[in-house]
Amino acid sequence: MSASLKHALLSASGAHRWLNCTPSARLEREFEDNSGSYAAEGTAAHALAEHKLRRALKMRSKKPVSQYDSDEMDACSEGYVEFIRELIARTKQECSDPVVLVEQRLDFSKYVPDGFGTGDCLIIADGLLHIIDFKYGRGVLVAAEDNPQMKLYALGALELFDGIYDISTVSMTVYQPRRENVGTHTVGKEELCRWAEEILKPTAALAFAGEGAYVPGEHCRFCRAAVPCRARAEAMLSLARFEFAMPPLLTDEDIESILARLDELTLWANGIKAYALEAAVSHGKEWHGFKLVEGRSNRRYLSEEAVAKAAQEAGYRDIYRRSLITLTDMERLMGKSKFQSILGGLIEKPPGKPALVPLSDKREAIDTSAKHDFKEDM
């Protein structure tokens, strides 16, 4: 979303929360936004991707500079632009003059009070609307299917262009390079509009009024009120009761139920600890049964140059260690083609440690007959 736009109460990016827990939108307003560096990094990545896309489309744009610039961000934004270019080329096979819009303001207030947002990229052709959303986060995998943020953007785009292009089909793509996640979901316009009238509109009215029931779930992850929320605490404590039983006494169904929500429980518990610590450090809050202490720390040199000089003057010469530059730096030094031809046979990518993930994860399942290969690393 463009920094120039104020933040809507019922934002598209927060739709997953307020559609599931309608009072959360207004409750969040009582808490500070502590998204911090992750949000700032995402904003920087979006700005770079927008710049590169505009230049690729022969539009004027000034390259943004930020403290988050990196080779990874550069590569991800390049991949995003290439994906858009390929999509435009395919669209031109069916429509000679598609309209391509970058960072387009979209108004969906017909269904959501004061609702608006910004679409990263829109491609409009005869009968087809395609919306692409660039996600730079590496944490949560964002699905394109039934994605409420994308559907809100689609509704806003239909308000602008449906009468001109007679759109019948809407495609919504999430481009999330750091999770190797590129997914597209396609729906008919009539189905989308039916959802908007029957589900979105009445739910948004409840959320705008701050009414309805508090409903905890995985959508709480980025809610600013998640830590002190009583409904979520009750749900988490209900799950935590299983921890009082040793695993051999749990059924397979119990363990599966715990596994499905363990990350959520851990996130909630860590959030409680962080909330309590911040209150103690910043506001002098005293928690009964707890005290604020100085944590462990590691020694460090005040000045490496001064330390080296003092050690050498004392007669110690062997105080430096030499090591190869990193793989990334080596590839940048040689260039990708030379790096591959010179060092390709000397580079390996060992298998990662096994991880238990939901079936929705796109990674290929490990052959259990080979599990002994990982035992020493576990």
pLDDT digits (tens, 9 = 90+) for 85-122: 999 999 998 888 889 999 999 999 999 999 999 999 99
CATH of 15-209, one of 1.10.12, 3.90.320, 1.10.30, 2.20.110: 3.90.320
* Biggest distance spanned by C-alpha atoms of the chain: 83
**Average pLDDT over every residue of 121-139:** 92
> How many Å apart are CA 199 and CA 39, to the nearest integer?
30
> Structural domain boundaries of the chain?
15-209, 227-283
What's the average model confidence in pLDDT over 188-215?
95
Q: CA-CA distance, 42 to 138, in Å (whole number)?
A: 10
pTM: 0.69
Tokens of 336: 């990708």
What's the CA gap between 219 and 221, in Å, rounded? 5
State percent of the chain over pLDDT 90: 42
Residue 252: pLDDT band with limits 50, 70, 90: confident
